[in-house]
Amino acid sequence: MTIQEIKNRFGIIGSSPLLDRAIDIAKQVAPTDLTVLITGESGTGKEVFPQIIHNLSARKHGQYIAVNCGAIPEGTIDSELFGHEKGSFTGAHEARKGYFEVANGGTIFLDEVAEMPLATQARLLRVLESGEFIKVGSSKVLKTDVRVVAATNVNIAQAIEKGKFREDLYYRLNTVPIIVPSLRDRKQDIFLLFRKFAADFSAKYRMPTIKLDTEAEQLLINYHWQGNVRQLKNITEQISVIEKQRDINVEMIRGYLPQRTAPQLPMVISNATQGGDFSERDLLYKVLFDMKKDLQDLKKIVVDLIENDNQLDQDFHPENASLIKKLYQEVGTPETPIQLGYNTSAPAFMKSKDETPLHTIVTEENLSLHEIEEDMIKKALTKHKGKRKNAAKELGISERTLYRKINEYSIK
């Protein structure tokens, strides 16, 4: 069966190379009994791939059971998956078979597998390794022959690091990985999907099909689609039902697209600052990143000054002087010189007729983050004459955070 035939059979729309690659892997692994882990964002259509694998396998005549692990309460998930004996817990009025027993000889799809409790993960690992399980309230070991396909939209590596997912189970599930691409990674398919959904809802609600103008189509293609195919389908249905006009322009469709409230930019988050005050962290990072390169350049210049003291006026360019002056303004003054570990006077080219030489660079002492932060807060308060609201705005932190820092550093 070709990839296009698989698309037609399972109602898959799109021609993205990433989508075709995922379908091809599912096709190749289907005849085997290997465990498959499907990953991808919520709403990308991960649930269709276990069906492809099952229906193209030798188990296609056996049971296919899909289980949403995130929807089953922690107290009952063991019973649902592995069954229980009569009287094993309150409410167990009779023995019950679990999904692994019912699906013997078939395929079981564990959706949202990362939501499974750790104790259940240990039971699942035993099933994957030996095919053995024990019902809740029993001591008898049972055997099952089940092909397991799992899926998740959670970053498994992060879940392992946080202790929420077993690393050995991950490697056992991830025998063959299938990555389902997000909608924004298959932009060429967005308009095709929209037209398909619009035609379906037109037939369902017995009304003319909606159509997009060129600008509206471009807006649709360039939108972020956080909810992927599911979100696109929902929005198409809303427009089909609500709008009386069938020709949809860019302004009309913009009203149905939620605006992203936060920029999708990379952010450095260390373990030490997770859950803390990000404004405070941003303040420190801003200071350090701005100073790091200039301080390194200054060290090189000062070393060169010492080694070439006899040719200072000839060897140093004006931009070097301006760089050092700039650094004195930012991180040091004649009263609080920069601490780098050198001991020399400022060179002649940094003097003017009306000014005295800048003070010397003296003993070695590291500037701590707290000292930098305290100094910036003092300068901001001085600049705004003690008005905390204005000072906090300039520093990029909340007024509450500024108040706390003032008390912490005993700033008057």
Q: Give 65-91 pLDDT, tens digit per residue.
A: 999 999 999 889 999 999 999 988 888
Rounded to the nearest integer, the mean pLDDT of the chain is 81
pLDDT tens-digit series, residues 146-160: 999 999 999 999 999
Instruction: State the pLDDT confidence band at 187, using cuts at 50, 70 and 90.
Output: very high
Residues contacting 17, CB < 8 A, separation 6+: none
Residues contacting 107, CB < 8 A, separation 6+: 50, 53, 54, 57, 59, 62, 63, 64, 65, 146, 147, 148, 149
For position 350, what pLDDT does the model report? 44
pLDDT tens-digit series, residues 265-293: 444 444 444 444 445 555 665 666 666 66
Higher pLDDT, 245 or 369: 245
For position 258, what pLDDT does the model report? 85
How many Å is the maximal CA-CA distance in the chain? 100
For position 388, what pLDDT does the model report? 84
pLDDT tens-digit series, residues 243-270: 999 999 999 999 999 876 444 444 444 4
Q: What is the 3-state secondary structure (H, E, C) of the chain?
A: CCHHHHHHHHCCCCCCHHHHHHHHHHHHHCCCCCCEEEECCCCCCCCHHHHHHHHCCCCCCCCEEEEEHHHCCCCCHHHHHHCECCCCCCCCCCCECCHHHHCCCCEEEEECHHHCCHHHHHHHHHHHHHCEEECECCCCEEECCCEEEEEECCCHHHHHHCCCCCHHHHHHHCCEEEECCCHHHCHHHHHHHHHHHHHHHHHHHCCCCCEECHHHHHHHHHCCCCCHHHHHHHHHHHHHHHCCCCEECHHHHHCCCCCCCCCCCCCCCCCCCCCCCHHHHHHHHHHHHHHHHHHHHHHHHHHHHHHCHHHHHHHCCHHHHHHHHHHHHHHCCCCCCCCCCCCECCCHHHCCCCCCCCCCECCCCCCCHHHHHHHHHHHHHHHCCCCHHHHHHHHCCCHHHHHHHHHHCCCC
Out of 123-137, 188-202, 352-366, pick the least confident.
Answer: 352-366
pLDDT tens-digit series, residues 16-70: 999 999 999 999 999 999 999 999 999 999 999 999 999 999 999 999 999 999 9
Per the DSSP assignment, residues forming a β-bridge with 176 are 36
Instruction: State the pLDDT confidence band at 399, using cuts at 50, 70 and 90.
Output: confident
pLDDT over 90 at 170, yes or no:
yes
For position 406, what pLDDT does the model report? 86
Residues contacting 174, CB < 8 A, separation 6+: 35, 37, 156
pLDDT over 90 at 168, yes or no:
yes
Number of CB atoms found within 10 A of residue 197's CB? 21
For position 58, what pLDDT does the model report? 95
Q: What is the set of domains in the chain, with CATH numbers?
A: 3-181 (3.40.50.300), 184-254 (1.10.8.60), 278-350 (no CATH), 369-408 (1.10.10)
pLDDT tens-digit series, residues 104-147: 999 999 999 999 999 999 999 999 999 999 999 999 999 999 99
* Phi (first) and psi of residue 344, to 5 degrees: -155, 160
Residue 404 in contact with residue 283, Cβ under 8 Å? no
pLDDT tens-digit series, residues 300-324: 676 666 656 545 444 445 555 555 5
